């Protein structure tokens, strides 16, 4: 049973560029959340997608946007990249029904902005 798959694993972009990160959730999961983890810090919630709509959002600017497809996979887009956007971007999936008992995380995409 495949877990959460993220691509690419590593990415180097230039300041001002745009980037798209991709995520396939664990089989059976319908909710996808994205987190940003700076070096030496805990992950920070960016947003969550359910039924192809953004259900919750953290304190991130509008440069961060996303999408969820009918097959539950998701994309994270970041426009006008800043040096401070360099981080590990984690995708996490879960099942929406009932109480929340935790995520399955992917291995992340390491984004470096130069």
Partner 1 sequence: TQLLEQSPQFLSIQEGENLTVYCNSSSVFSSLQWYRQEPGEGPVLLVTVVTGGEVKKLKRLTFQFGDARKDSSLHITAAQPGDTGLYLCAGNGGTSYGKLTFGQGTILTVHP
Which residues bind to partner 1, rule: CB under 8 A?
4, 31, 33, 35, 40-45, 48, 55-56, 58, 90, 92, 94, 96, 99-108
Closer residue to partner 1, CB minimum distance, 31 or 68: 31
| Measured distance CA(31)–CA(39) in Å, rounded | 26
Instruction: Reduce the DSSP state of residue 85 to 3 states and report it.
Output: helix
Helix (H) or strand (E) holding 29: none
For the CB of residue 79, give the shortest distance to partner 1 in the complex, in Å. 23
Instruction: Reduce the DSSP state of residue 20 to 3 states and report it.
Output: strand
Residue 21: name the closest of 39, 47, 1, 3 by CA: 47
Closer residue to partner 1, CB minimum distance, 81 or 103: 103
Closer residue to partner 1, CB minimum distance, 66 or 106: 106
For the CB of residue 94, give the shortest distance to partner 1 in the complex, in Å. 6
């Amino acid at each position: 049973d495949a877990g959460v798959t993220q691509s690419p694993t590593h990415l180097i972009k230039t300041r001002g560029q745009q980037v798209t990160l991709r995520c396939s959730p664990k089989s059976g999961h319908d909710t996808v959340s994205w987190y940003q983890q700076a070096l030496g810090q805990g992950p920070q919630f960016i947003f969550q997608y359910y039924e192809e709509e953004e259900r919750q959002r953290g304190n991130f600017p509008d440069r961060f946007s996303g999408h969820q497809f009918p097959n539950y996979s998701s994309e994270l887009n970041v426009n006008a990249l800043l040096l401070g956007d360099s981080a590990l971007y984690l995708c996490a999936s879960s099942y929406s029904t009932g109480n929340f008992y935790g995520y399955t995380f992917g291995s992340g995409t390491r984004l470096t902005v130069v």
